[in-house]
Structure 1
């Protein structure tokens, strides 16, 4: 036995565990799947062996059930931004937002936003099929212009045949964001927050009539000075100011749209770059990059819900998956199933994966049989552990009452 004397003076007899039974002892102490601290406390109550604390840390870290069901810590990465657009329609982003069923059966809003000017256009939709989205995007191409590049998520409305064929016919290069990663289309996602507030205020008296106010909301957003560019989206897109009207039309300066346009666009580009860098530096303050290498095993955040089950009771992570390719210096990873390497390839952002730790293996030590000895060997004395002082280097003397 191992005798442990605690701070309160109580004595506990613990079993001294041989190397061959360490795994069984750890499984007993970790049967409730608590963390490292509580598992160490359970081991100290029953067992003892040299270096048990380090073995507990490795065993808990490699527990498969704990890695699947507990939140854990995903890979940390610094935020990245796309290279700035140089002119209108150089890059646009599209996205859908879901509102309530309103006037004439409209429910969804298709948003098209120019990255250079932040000029935005809204289209009300009754459904979000690929055919419906393609029909409205064709209106944008014919009435506003054809962009060089387009960013969209991986919804079926943007990955369907009709939408893909539309982009091919007009020569638009489409880039899809990573699955379950709305940060890849952050400009449109952030604008949706402002748009929902604006449309809610405009349709306060009749919320179901929100489709009637889409043009008013777009006008309000396009004529307000944007914080990133320092200019009105309308001016940055069309290179001229919208006609001013406040009850009565205001006079305009002759040829104002022709003077200094090149300088104005240079200011817009420089302002956008400077403010984007400032925001990125603030967002990345205190952040650092964590990477995994090709061939490593990782867990993937479970974004799916099994029908008929509670989401909170499902596994938080699925896998393990093997890293096949590193995308954009560790911002994302291409993964594969190690049991079916030719199938089930998927791509995930670094924030959606975490490291996989294998189970701890204990090597069995072959004990030699003791040699026969006729002499009686003395019985070894039990190991006694003295209680550790809480402050071994700072022992305060008891206070002595003052006596005159």
Structure 2
């Protein structure tokens, strides 16, 4: 009986569109390079909170956070916020942003080119590649709720206090205080900085990342990419979901081709239109989870 029920659920379109995945498969996490010094890599994003628009930025090595309130999401306003960070903290080597219109436009591109800053756009629909600043948003939201309930503070003052508290607290990734790490670092134009604290911070960050990645990969043993097949029917996360009652997944789609690692081309069964998605956006059919790992012979 349980097998019959599982088969019926796997083939139910309503279940595929509306139900949560209780134990969703995850693609294996990959080790990414740890920055060698502060401002090598800085992430930027826009956070929305209680009617506020806030440009948030974070240095990947020190975890130093920065926030600038925006009056709107225009390119000019975002450039002003970026320049505020650059003038206060310094110029990063690479700026990591998503493909939202506030960053993916000619004006921001021109500003970064003029200042000699590289830009990396994250994979659409894959927030993990923007994970550092996304976790900052989660922590800031918690601080903002506490400030409102405990002191009745809201708006720009609450945001400033939340960032101050974040930068003066010991961060689990570095085992150090972000503000102290930034203060011990000097721009390359000056005398060499004392590298004892920064060297230890980088070492702790690398060790922590390696342990975390290995632990997650070993625990989850993800094989979603290996088991999905060309010809599979799949469903895709509904990124245009505005209300909680809207379906979490839309479809069905047919897997047309497996491209580079973790990306597939899918075709809408009803309209015939194709699109490219990250494998984490898909909901793999139950039958696919029982297959042997993919051998790489179905990419054509």
Q: What range is the shorter-chain TM-score in?
A: 0.7 to 0.9
Q: 1:311 aligns with which of 246, 260, 265?
A: 246
- Which residue matches 2:297? none
Q: Distance in 2 between matches of 1:200 and 1:121?
A: 19
Secondary structure in 1 matching 2:76: helix
Write out aligned runs for 1:122-201 (5 A): 122-201=67-146
- Alpha-carbon deviation of 1:321? 3.3
Q: Distance in 1 between matches of 2:33 and 2:48?
A: 29
Secondary structure in 1 matching 2:58: strand
Q: Distance in 2 between matches of 1:168 and 1:273?
A: 30
Note the residue ranges of structure 2 that are not aligned, 5 or more in a row.
289-300
Alignment partner of 1:279 is 2:212: yes
**Change beyond 3 A, Cα 1:289–1:311:** same
The answer on whether the counterparts of 1:334 and 1:348 sit within 8 Å (CA) in structure 2 is: yes
Alignment partner of 1:299 is 2:227: no
Alignment partner of 1:221 is 2:159: no
Aligned length: 278
- Which residue matches 2:293? none
Q: Distance in 2 between matches of 1:100 and 1:344?
A: 37
**Change beyond 3 A, Cα 1:213–1:322:** same
Alignment partner of 1:205 is 2:140: no
* Greater displacement, 156-165 / 299-308: 299-308
The answer on whether the counterparts of 2:42 and 2:92 sit within 8 Å (CA) in structure 1 is: yes
- Alpha-carbon deviation of 1:229? 1.1
Q: Distance in 2 between matches of 1:225 and 1:306?
A: 36
Q: RMSD value over aligned CA atoms?
A: 3.7
- Alpha-carbon deviation of 1:141? 2.2
The answer on whether the counterparts of 1:181 and 1:349 sit within 8 Å (CA) in structure 2 is: no
- Alpha-carbon deviation of 1:75? 4.7
Alignment partner of 1:115 is 2:54: no
TM-score by length of 2: 0.75
TM-score by length of 1: 0.58
- Alpha-carbon deviation of 1:116? 0.8
The answer on whether the counterparts of 1:322 and 1:335 sit within 8 Å (CA) in structure 2 is: yes
- Alpha-carbon deviation of 1:119? 0.8
Q: Distance in 1 between matches of 2:241 and 2:216?
A: 35
**Change beyond 3 A, Cα 1:85–1:322:** same
Alignment partner of 1:333 is 2:263: yes
Q: 1:93 aligns with which of 13, 19, 43?
A: 43
Larger Cα-atom Rg: 1
Q: Distance in 1 between matches of 2:192 and 2:79?
A: 38
* Greater displacement, 157-166 / 289-298: 289-298
Secondary structure in 1 matching 2:33: coil
Q: Distance in 2 between matches of 1:114 and 1:349?
A: 28
**Change beyond 3 A, Cα 1:160–1:271:** same
Q: Distance in 1 between matches of 2:160 and 2:88?
A: 15
Q: Distance in 1 between matches of 2:177 and 2:130?
A: 21
**Change beyond 3 A, Cα 1:238–1:337:** same
